[in-house]
Structure formats: C-alpha cells, structure tokens
Amino acid sequence: MPLNTQNIVILAIESSCDETSAAVIYNGKMLSNIVASQIIHEQYGGVVPELASRAHQQDIVRVVNAAIVESKIQKTDLSAIAFTRGPGLLGSLLVGTSFAKAFALGLDIPLIEINHMEAHVLAHFIDEPKPNFPFLCLTVSGGHTQIVLVKSPLDMEVLGETADDAVGEAFDKGAKMLGLGYPGGPKIDQHAALGNPGAFEFPIPEMPGYSFSFSGVKTSLLYFIQKHGQEFVTERLNDICASYQQTLITTLVRKIRKAAKELKIKEIAIAGGVSANKGLRKALQIEAEKQRWSLYIPDFQYCTDNAGMIAIAAHFKYIEKEFSHQQVSPMPRFQI
C-alpha cells in the first residue's frame, strides 16, 4: 500500500449517533465539513437507534460526495480514510465503519479508526487559537461528561466522568419533561437566555473527586413540575429553564475549577455538544478571567457531532502511522 508522505489528505466519516457527516482535511487544513442532521427523531422525542442507522445508510453517499466536491480534491488524492469506531450506537457506527472500510479497500489506502470523544477534544486543533499541552478539557455531550487531561494529541487521560447521566442527557430529558421537544439542549438554552437563573433552586450534586452525577437534578425537576403543575410551568418556563440550566452549569464549573487548581493547569478547554450552550460559554469566560485561565471554546460547527473533528484526529494518527486493520469492527463503548 503506497503511503502518501508529501501531502496528507484524509476523508473522515462520522456516524456515531444522529448526524451523518463527512469532511476532507489537507495537511491539517479543513477543506470541507458536511453535516446532515436526522430530523426524523424529533417526532419521537429522542434518537431511535434503528431509524438512525437507516438514515445514515440513506445519507452517507450523498454526504461523502458533497464533502469531496466541496474540497475540490480527487478521490485519487486521498492518503487515508478515517471513521468513528465508537463510542456510539452500534447500528449507526456500522454504517460509517463499513463505508470507510470499503472506500479504503477500493483505493488501496490506509484506514484510520478514531475515538469519538478524543475527536471532540482534538476539534481544538482545527482553528486558532490552539491550546498548549498539557491542558484540561471539559468534554460535555449527549452521552458523556468528562474531565480529560490532554498530554499530547494522542495521549489523553480521563480524570473523572459521570456516574449516571451525561449533562447533555440532563438537558434533553429536562426539556422533554418541560414539553420542549428534542434535541432539548438548544431549546433550554434559548428559554434560559430570557429567564432569571436565581428564580428557583435545584440541588447541586456532591460527588467525590472529578466525578459527576446528573440523575438527581433531573429527578428534582420532575418533582418540581409535578408539584407546581402545567399552568405554572408554562407561565414561568423561561425562569425554570434558566434555573435548571444554571444548576447544570454550576456543577460543571465547580469541577473544572477544582481540577485546574489541583493540577495547577491554566490551559482550559471545553468540547462536545453541550459546549454550544451560551450560558456555559459565558460562565466559563467569567471563571477564566477570575482564575487567569487561557480558555479555549470551539467554533459552534465543531461543538456538536461533525466529521471535521474526526479528520483532525486522523491527521495526527496518520503522522504517527497509526492505521487500522480491514477486520476492524465498531466499538459502541470505546473508552479514551
């Protein structure tokens, strides 16, 4: 298999959940990043795995073609094909994995597997400014809540994570209880911007070390809704969203502050879908000023799931020649 050592041109595919995405990266510079979001799940109030994998199958050819056309490269220019191996939904991962394997085999070029959570962290290396090593990354998504110590692009250590629900899940399930639909994070964010975060109190979980828990606050919202009734919820929706969101944000900020202090690290980053939350971005900016952190927040397009982050992660792996076998299969519970 000939290795392209002059230019590194990678086609990356992301299909771990409900976004079908493809990107082309050329020597570390993003040429295209196409994302097709599956709207079919809205009517069910959450991602339906079987429907997600079917939608990936329907969309993947169109999305990959669009990424190649926009990048203006030829398929024969490609040095490698990268794909998300996990974590994610098995049926969804299978579509991207199979497609990537077939593409790499057809072109006789290397295949690169990527851990989705590592890719969220490495999204910080797409644009300037880039964090300096070592840095701490608060990775907050629909399935994960982690504090990661990033020593180099390919050397990361999870210092703590959630014992139950992810913070994105707390946003989504909270929104569902409030009748806001799916995905709920952006909807709570919008209502919260118009409300008073101090209007109501929800409990802030006390967890040891750098671990998190979000199931209790979610339950307390349920009891709050049951106690006050639908009419009250409709009337005070903005204040409820602002207060609930504030509790989630305070929980996250406290833990990253603790990690930064104890590890004496002032390079702080956030990543993952929940890092698109305006309240969280603002709270971290305020904290960064107080603690004199250098804070890194990705561009909105690189916060939620996208193949651009898979592409940059693959660029680093290509340099180290970390390639995968054709026999590789998805890992729904792939750990960093």
Burial letters for 5-39: b for 16+ Cβ neighbours within 10 Å, e otherwise? eeebbbbbbbbbbbbbbbbbbbeeebbbbbbbbbe
C-alpha dist (Å) from residue 62 to 7, 113, 209: 26, 22, 45
Q: Kindly give, in sequence order, each residue whose CB lies less than 8 Å from that of residue 243, ignoring residues fewer than 6 positions away.
A: 195, 196, 197, 198, 199, 200, 201, 202
Decide if residue 284 touches ligand KG4 (CB under 6 A).
no
Decide if residue 142 touches ligand KG4 (CB under 6 A).
yes
DSSP 156-187: EEEEEEBSS--HHHHHHHHHHHTT--SSHHHH
Selected binder of Zn ion within 141, 162, 246, 247 (CB under 5 A): 141
Site map (CB under 5 A) of Zn ion, residues 281-320, x = contact? ------------------------x---------------
* DSSP letter, residue 39: G
Cis peptide before 129 (omega within 30 of 0): yes
Minimal distance in Å, beta carbon 299 to Zn ion?
Answer: 15
* DSSP letter, residue 332: T
Burial letters for 152-164: b for 16+ Cβ neighbours within 10 Å, e otherwise? ebeebebbbbbeb
Selected binder of ligand KG4 within 183, 205, 308, 330 (CB under 6 A): 183
Torsion of CA 193, 195, 201, 206, to 10 degrees: 0
Count of residues in the chain: 336
Decide if residue 302 touches ligand KG4 (CB under 6 A).
no
Q: Which residue, 21 or 79, has its beta carbon nearer to Zn ion?
A: 21
Selected binder of ligand KG4 within 96, 273, 298, 308 (CB under 6 A): 273
Given Zn ion, ligand KG4, none, residue 184, with its beta carbon under 5 to 8 Å by kind, binds ligand KG4
Decide if residue 274 touches ligand KG4 (CB under 6 A).
yes
Minimal distance in Å, beta carbon 261 to ligand KG4?
Answer: 26
User: What number of other Cβ atoms are within 10 A of residue 42's Cβ?
Assistant: 12
Minimal distance in Å, beta carbon 274 to Zn ion?
Answer: 10
User: What number of other Cβ atoms are within 10 A of residue 277's Cβ?
Assistant: 26
Decide if residue 184 touches ligand KG4 (CB under 6 A).
yes
Decide if residue 153 touches ligand KG4 (CB under 6 A).
no
Q: Which residue, 15 or 251, has its beta carbon nearer to Zn ion?
A: 15
Decide if residue 277 touches ligand KG4 (CB under 6 A).
yes
The whole-angstrom separation of Cα 198 and Cα 185 is: 19
Q: Which residue, 123 or 149, has its beta carbon nearer to Zn ion?
A: 123
Classify 209 in phi/psi space as left (phi over 0), alpha (psi -120 to 50) or beta.
left
Minimal distance in Å, beta carbon 188 to Zn ion?
Answer: 18
Hey, which residues between 158 and 177 contact ligand KG4 (CB under 6 A)? 168, 171-172
Decide if residue 14 touches Zn ion (CB under 5 A).
no
Site map (CB under 6 A) of ligand KG4, residues 16-45, x = contact? -x----------------------------
Selected binder of ligand KG4 within 41, 189, 212, 246 (CB under 6 A): 189
- Which residues bind to ligand KG4, rule: CB under 6 A? 17, 141-143, 168, 171-172, 183-186, 189, 272-274, 276-277, 304-305
- Which residues bind to Zn ion, rule: CB under 5 A? 141, 305
